[in-house]
Amino acid sequence: MLIDSIKGTLVKKNPTSVIVDVGGIRLGIPITLATFEKIPNPNQPVELLTYLHVREDIMVLYGFYDDHERDVFMQLNSISGIGPRSAMNILSGTDPIEFKKKIIDSDVASLTSIPGIGTKTAKRIIVELKDKFTDQDTGSDLDFLLVSDDKDKIDDVMKVLVSLGYKRSAINQVIKKLVTEDGLDDNIEDIIKGALKLL
């Protein structure tokens, strides 16, 4: 991965791509629907994690809102016959954390409900990725991130802390600690203050 992330001004966005001005250079970057929904409106600062896909005839910089999405993309892209475009289409049809959990659970039926995944592809994905995702994430970690009551608050807190320069991995650990020990406050500003004390 030659370019880990970019930071600049969002010039234009649509559900499949964005244009970001980085020091006067405007980059066209394919994104997923989930990233489209989470990034700010045009003319605002934006930071995206990236993956540079290089072939003999083309280079494409793909953009992602968080580590979970980029990790799933890279794992899907490593499977023969899927490729980056198919991986982006799959991620546009599912939450990356839910997707990991479906693979860990070997849930073929749920995987085939995602556009672009048939039964054969679902089984191949499970065979290729189940052990990798099980090693990375425990079921309890995924369940924590999928708590419906707190997911929107966690996303909002994540955006603010990332904009302040903190790493997503460190933020995840701090938020998990806050949830486990005290539960999340209803006020997002108080959650941010509590997180900053631990970062």
Question: Where residue 25 sits, what CATH number does that domain have?
Answer: 2.40.50.140
- Considering only CA atoms, which of 1, 2, 97, 6 is closest in space to residue 49? 6
Shared domain for 107 and 153, answered yes or no, is no
Q: Which residues, including other chains, have CB under 8 Å from residue 107's CB and lie 6 or more apart? A: none
Shared domain for 45 and 101, answered yes or no, is no
Residue finishing a domain among 122, 141, 160: 141
Question: In the chain, how many domains are there?
Answer: 3
Shared domain for 85 and 136, answered yes or no, is yes
Is the Cα torsion angle 139, 140, 142, 148 positive or negative in sign?
A: positive
Residue finishing a domain among 115, 141, 167: 141
The model's pTM is: 0.69
Shared domain for 50 and 73, answered yes or no, is no
Cβ pair 94, 114 in contact under 8 A: yes
Query: How many Cα atoms are found within 13 Å in the side-chain-facing hemisphere of 100?
Result: 26
- The pLDDT value recorded for residue 76 is 95
Q: What is the pLDDT along the chain (199 residues), one digit of tens a residue?
A: 578 999 999 999 999 999 999 999 999 999 999 999 999 999 999 999 999 998 888 899 999 998 889 999 999 999 988 999 999 999 999 888 889 888 988 999 999 999 889 999 999 999 999 888 765 554 455 455 555 466 777 778 877 887 788 876 678 778 878 877 767 777 888 888 888 988 8
Q: How far does CA 191 lie from the centroid of its chain?
A: 22
- The pLDDT value recorded for residue 136 is 58
Shared domain for 53 and 21, answered yes or no, is yes
Which residues constitute the domain of residue 115?
68-141
The C-alpha atoms of residue 193 and residue 145 are separated, in whole angstroms, by 20
Shared domain for 11 and 42, answered yes or no, is yes
- The pLDDT value recorded for residue 138 is 46
Shared domain for 72 and 135, answered yes or no, is yes
- The pLDDT value recorded for residue 95 is 86
CATH of the domain at 136: 1.10.150.20
Residue finishing a domain among 32, 48, 64: 64
Residue 4 to residues 13, 62, 196, Cα–Cα distance (Å):
20, 10, 24
Shared domain for 136 and 167, answered yes or no, is no
